[in-house]
């Protein structure tokens, strides 16, 4: 996620089962997820009318129990539930604390596979994430002429039932039906089923919060991607001409990253640019871009900003392909590397002196006594601010200067390869860096991530 910090600154019966399985174990969002099972695939069928804001959903979740389950829950809030089925049979359920709680007819054994299907409908609403300033809501955002789902880090369950934490990534089929003249967009490669229905396949695991649906009056702009990668960008209808060259930097920077940190990890790429109308209802999309898997979503502010395009593209490797294990302890290496990629883009296009100037400007802002960012252990409220972005980026700069370019990029590439389509942690990154460097790098990371004062720039 790229949040423009100046904008943010301006915004001031199942109790036993609950104890055993509610919450996947992330202290930053202690109630999120469920460790009693792992979902492997979601099949979402959505019928949405932007004019009436009526949403009808049918979601199947394929999962396997990681422990014996007498009851279990999925994260889900809002809507009216019509029916819940477990392996094809209707089952009783209750709803409390943003959880949909399921009571199987018979216990599910450890290692047993099951399919949970939920049919529901209603008018989706935005919600407040603990990680964003009060009033900056996200989730399913309806605006005049369309809607979009942007849910990082904790709000996917406000529009579909799921195990809503990065520790449970899954593949997705998303089928969206919307009336003409609206266009439907989601993650992965889309195929028209009918005039009004499009089926999208995301064949690599994704966090639930990085799944998106956008419905609106869009036009498409195709690009030739790296190694013939399918690339389609979506812009508000009528802006195709002025937007035509907004994405010119993408293929060049994709090659830059692929040459250094490994191949692009998904089967397609593109971005969605939302219309100006969204800014009237969403403070978030007036000030942010979101790295939804394979198809980042930008507010109008992102048009023509190549650094932000590169930021969200970089997240496809660091954030989407390799995702956090613990939001508060790991967000720095996600947002920090994406922020650092903006400086790399400056270096690539303007030269080393421009890169050095960007680094020194950032360091000068936070190097005074009492101002150092300490990005290594953040609360939910600190996740998308200067500590993770600037503090993380400065840590990567220092790591590059300490190791040299060859070992720096080898470290990032090895970290991605080790955790590809899974989850990484700060501990993992330290171990990989130490192996590549041939020495213990933990003291370096402790200094930059947890020290009370700003370390000297190497």
Sort 139 into a burial class: Cβ within 10 Å, 0-12 / 13-18 / 19+: buried
- Of 191-200, 282-291, 324-333, the range with the lowest mean pLDDT is 282-291
Please write the tens of the pLDDT for every residue from 367-410.
Answer: 999 999 999 999 999 999 999 999 999 999 999 999 999 999 99
Structure confidence at residue 245 as a pLDDT band (50, 70, 90): confident
Closest CA to 186 of 194, 177, 125, 275: 177
Distance CA 396, CA 433 (A): 11
Averaged over 313-321, what is the pLDDT?
Answer: 98
Query: Residue 16: its pLDDT value, please?
Result: 35
Q: What is the DSSP letter of 392?
A: H
Please state, for a pLDDT cut of 70, what percent of the chain lies above it: 96
Q: What is the DSSP letter of 34?
A: B
Distance CA 13, CA 31 (A): 18
Averaged over 328-357, what is the pLDDT?
Answer: 98
Residue 254 in contact with residue 262, Cβ under 8 Å? no
Query: Residue 3: its pLDDT value, please?
Result: 67
Q: What is the DSSP letter of 357?
A: H
Which homologous superfamily does the CATH classification assign to the domain defined by 323-450? Neutral Protease Domain 2 (1.10.390.10)
Q: Is the pLDDT of residue 432 over 80?
A: yes
Please write the tens of the pLDDT for every residue from 64-73.
Answer: 999 999 999 9
Coil, strand or helix: which one is 286? coil
Q: What is the DSSP letter of 177?
A: E
Closest CA to 421 of 327, 321, 324: 321
- Residue 77 CB contacts under 8 Å (≥ 6 apart), including other chains: 98, 127, 157, 158
Tokens of 287: 């000030």
For the chain, the average pLDDT equals 94
Structure confidence at residue 244 as a pLDDT band (50, 70, 90): confident
Structure confidence at residue 4 as a pLDDT band (50, 70, 90): low
Q: Where are the domains of the chain?
A: 2-12+47-57+117-314, 323-450
Q: What's the predicted TM-score (pTM) here?
A: 0.95
- Second-level CATH architecture of 2-12+47-57+117-314: 2-Layer Sandwich (3.30)
Please write the tens of the pLDDT for every residue from 194-225.
Answer: 999 999 999 999 999 999 999 999 999 999 89
Residue 155 in contact with residue 25, Cβ under 8 Å? no
Query: Residue 21: its pLDDT value, please?
Result: 57
Structure confidence at residue 287 as a pLDDT band (50, 70, 90): confident
Distance CA 391, CA 386 (A): 7
Query: Residue 8: its pLDDT value, please?
Result: 45
Report phi then psi at 399, rounded to 5. -65, -40
Distance CA 320, CA 314 (A): 9
Averaged over 288-304, what is the pLDDT?
Answer: 90
Please state, for a pLDDT cut of 90, what percent of the chain lies above it: 91
| C-alpha 212: how far from chain center | 9
């Amino acid at each position: 996620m790229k949040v423009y910090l100046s904008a943010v600154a301006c915004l001031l019966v199942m109790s036993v089962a609950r104890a055993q399985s509610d919450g996947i174990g992330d202290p930053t969002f202690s109630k999120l997820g469920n460790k009693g099972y792992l979902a492997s695939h979601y099949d979402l069928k959505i019928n949405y009318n932007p004019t009436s804001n009526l949403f009808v959903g049918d979601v199947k979740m394929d999962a396997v129990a990681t422990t014996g389950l007498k009851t279990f829950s999925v994260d889900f809030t809002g809507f009216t539930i019509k029916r819940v089925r477990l392996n094809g049979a209707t089952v009783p359920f209750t709803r409390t604390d943003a959880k949909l709680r399921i009571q199987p007819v018979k216990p599910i054994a450890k290692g047993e596979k099951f399919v949970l299907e939920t049919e529901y409908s209603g008018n989706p609403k935005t919600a407040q994430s603990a990680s964003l300033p009060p009033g900056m809501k996200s989730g399913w955002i309806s605006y005049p002429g369309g809607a979009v789902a942007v849910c990082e880090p904790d709000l996917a369950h406000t529009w579909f039932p799921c195990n809503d934490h990065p520790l449970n990534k899954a593949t997705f089929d998303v089928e969206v039906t919307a009336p003409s003249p609206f266009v439907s967009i989601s993650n992965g490669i889309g195929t028209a089923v009918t005039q009004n229905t499009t089926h999208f396949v995301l064949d690599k695991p994704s966090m639930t919060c990085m799944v998106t649906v956008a419905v609106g009056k869009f036009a498409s702009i195709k690009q030739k991607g790296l190694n013939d990668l399918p690339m389609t960008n979506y812009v508000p209808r009528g802006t195709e001409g002025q937007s035509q060259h907004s994405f010119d930097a993408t293929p060049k920077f994709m090659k830059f990253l692929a040459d250094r940190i490994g191949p692009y990890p998904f089967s397609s790429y593109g971005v969605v640019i939302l219309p100006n109308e969204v800014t009237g209802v969403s403070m978030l999309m007036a000030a942010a871009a979101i790295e939804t898997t394979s198809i980042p979503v930008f507010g109008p502010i992102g048009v023509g900003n190549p650094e932000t395009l590169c930021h969200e593209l970089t997240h496809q490797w660091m954030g989407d392909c390799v995702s956090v294990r613990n939001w508060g302890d790991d967000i720095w290496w996600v947002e920090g590397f994406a922020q650092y990629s903006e400086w790399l883009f400056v270096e690539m296009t303007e030269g080393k002196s421009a890169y050095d100037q960007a680094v020194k400007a950032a360091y000068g802002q936070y190097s005074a006594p009492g101002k150092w960012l300490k990005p290594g252990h953040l609360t939910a409220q600190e996740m998308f601010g200067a500590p993770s972005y600037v503090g993380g980026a400065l840590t990567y700069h220092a790591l590059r200067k300490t190791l040299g370019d060859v070992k720096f990029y080898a470290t990032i590439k090895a970290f991605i390869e080790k955790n590809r389509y899974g989850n990484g942690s700060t501990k993992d990154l330290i171990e990989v860096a130490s192996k590549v460097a041939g020495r213990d790098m933990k003291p370096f990371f402790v200094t930059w991530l947890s020290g009370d004062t700003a370390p000297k720039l190497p």
